[in-house]
Chain A
Amino acid sequence: MTKDSYILGIETSCDETAASVVKNGTEIISNVVASQITSQKRFGGVVPEIASRHHVEQITLVIEEALANAELKPEELDAVAVTEGPGLVGALLIGVNAAKAFAFANGLPIIGVHHIAGHIYANQLMQPMEFPLLALIVSGGHTELVIMEGHGSFKLVGETRDDAAGEAYDKVARVLGLPYPGGPKIDKLAAESDGQVVFPRAWLEPGSYDFSFSGLKSSVINYKHNLAQKGEDVNPFHVAAGFQASVVEVLTTKALRAAKEFGVKQVIAAGGVAANKGLRASLEETFKTQDIPFYVPPIALCTDNAAMIAAAGSAMFIDGIRGNLAMNGKPGMPLVSWKQ
């Protein structure tokens, strides 16, 4: 009988201070997230210095709560997994230093996890991953298509060349005068809309799996300006619906093409924008008709959380990956395979 593993995950890469305990890489024992959204709302976005200040206030509290909810003592853990990057540097290093101090004090190994590997492994908490697998990662900082041939193997096949999808959502929300965070509000307006403005789709050169959303954002701004010059107001429902339709169509079409080309057995979506209902519906529908299993985690596991970091950390733990006390926050960390 193999021994159960308990991994403590810590995540502070942006504006959520989070800690979680995951058993055997697949079962959430506890999952604590302290959100800064009420504070960051005042600034219409995440201010790095404010984020770092909140992380210091919350970090030991969330770790304590994650252990208490799991009814585990530090010595019953097998390792500490922490988001090493990418993200806001000042925010990352709160989690990294807390993780290092906690691991050192309790004689535990430490594992540095890539934030996107975490988002992908959030799926492992729902159902086993089957390879080859296509992951569509869409969040405020990322828009990527990744092929995995096995655990710990990542091949980036497409990424955004400018704005991330979530970034475009937030910017367009601002143009429409919607409060931060704009993504969920655009999703809601789009769902309630009775029509849509047609905006362009950025397909880029034929065969490319890359994305571009800054042109779309400019189209929305131009559309608003043109109407303003005529003394007219935009219909926010129609703009939201048109903008969302463009983003969703491009993401869905490219994901489908990649899934077919690489002959994947499973498609998964991850990241904060994977919580978008319009996108979820489109992906579900498309892959259902193609008979390719498609999964997206529940919303709480799409947005930033530490369970996903513990899940990825568990897979790294099994493969013998260990960090050391000289670990640092890496704001521009590339997604590198830990296994071929």
Chain B
Amino acid sequence: MIWLGIDTANTPISVALVKDGELLIEGTSAMAINHSLRAMPAIEELLEQAGLVPTDIDAIAVSEGPGSYTGARIGVTIAKTLAWTLGKPLVGVSTLKALAANALFFNGLVCPIVDARRGNVYAGVYQYVEGKLTEIIEDGHYSLEELVHLLEQHSSPVLFVGKDTAMHEKKLIEQLGHRAVLAPLQFNLPRASSLIYIAAQSESEADIHAFVPEYRRIAEAEANWLKEQGKDNDRG
């Protein structure tokens, strides 16, 4: 059973091949490179180094967002096209859950964070319960205040994961005190191996054609349009 994992949902890129529960090869970079240009060559190189061809792939795992809309679309487009044309199963995994899986064994809550600008973050809260990474607070688009408020309802320590935690460090420690722990550098990048670890425990997508990123936010134009519709309805 050979898994290909792809994560291009944010600035970092990670690709990996896992064979029968063993990591064969993984490439991860946090350099701001163009995913549209680099993702396919990275996959080609990975297979080449592993001495494999595309048809050897048995299943594909992809990071479905939230994060960069464009980034998530590139990974999802590549993954769904490969899965469909190779006739292999596809599993979409939350970008945040995969990041949380980097820090499975933390004794407390794990809060992956991706910066969403203007004081907002994409975040979720997870806990490793009886051998399974369990969602405690749903993935979503939160203001940092909202997120802190939600975390204040819990008493366990919170490990913040992700390279964007650094820019919110001061506020998190200010608000949560010693409960806030920031993950060290080696846990902060998305790892396609973590993605595959979660995907292997998950159901595959029933309809590959219909598979799209989990944006966790509607597009601005659509939000404005819905607002206008609401106004029109109010006017009756």
A interface residues (Cβ-Cβ under 8 A, vs B): 42-43, 47, 49-50, 52-53, 56-57, 59-61, 63-64, 74, 90, 93-94, 96-98, 100-102, 104-107, 325-329
Contact = CB atoms under 8 A, between A and B. Distances in A.
Contact of A104 (B40, B209, B210): B40
Contact of A100 (B40, B80, B209): B40
Interface stretch (B131-139, B148-156, B190-198, B217-225): B217-225
A101 B81 contact: yes
13 contacts: A49-B69, A49-B219, A50-B219, A52-B70, A53-B215, A56-B76, A59-B77, A60-B84, A60-B208, A97-B77, A97-B78, A101-B77, A102-B85
Contacts of B74: 93, 97
B65 to A, nearest CB: 11
Given A43-B225, A93-B36, A104-B43, A59 B81 contact: yes
Nearest to B221: A47
Contact of B212 (A53, A64, A74, A101): A53
Contact of B221 (A50, A94, A102): A50
B25 interface: no
B13 interface: no
Contacts of A49: 69, 219-221
Contacts of A42: 225
B213 interface: yes
Given A60-B209, A97-B36, A326-B40, 20 more contacts: A52-B70, A56-B76, A56-B77, A59-B80, A60-B85, A64-B84, A64-B209, A74-B85, A93-B73, A94-B77, A97-B40, A97-B77, A101-B40, A104-B43, A104-B44, A105-B82, A325-B44, A326-B41, A328-B36, A329-B36
Given A49-B220, A104-B54, A97 B210 contact: no
B206 interface: no
B84 A56 contact: no
A101 B60 CA distance: 13
A50 B224 CA distance: 13
Given A96-B36, A101-B85, A56 B212 contact: yes
Interface of B is mostly: helix
A98 B220 contact: no
A177 to B, nearest CB: 17
Given A93-B70, A328-B37, A105 B225 contact: no
A100 B85 CA distance: 12
**Residue among A93, A100, A101, A106 facing the most chain B CB atoms (10 A cut-off):** A101
Nearest to B80: A60
B73 A57 contact: no
Nearest to B86: A105
B62 to A, nearest CB: 11
A32 B220 CA distance: 29
A52 B74 CA distance: 10
A56 B36 contact: no
A61 B189 CA distance: 33
B69 A52 contact: yes
A74 B74 CA distance: 22
B85 A97 contact: no
B229 to A, nearest CB: 9
Contacts of A43: 221, 225
A326 B208 CA distance: 25
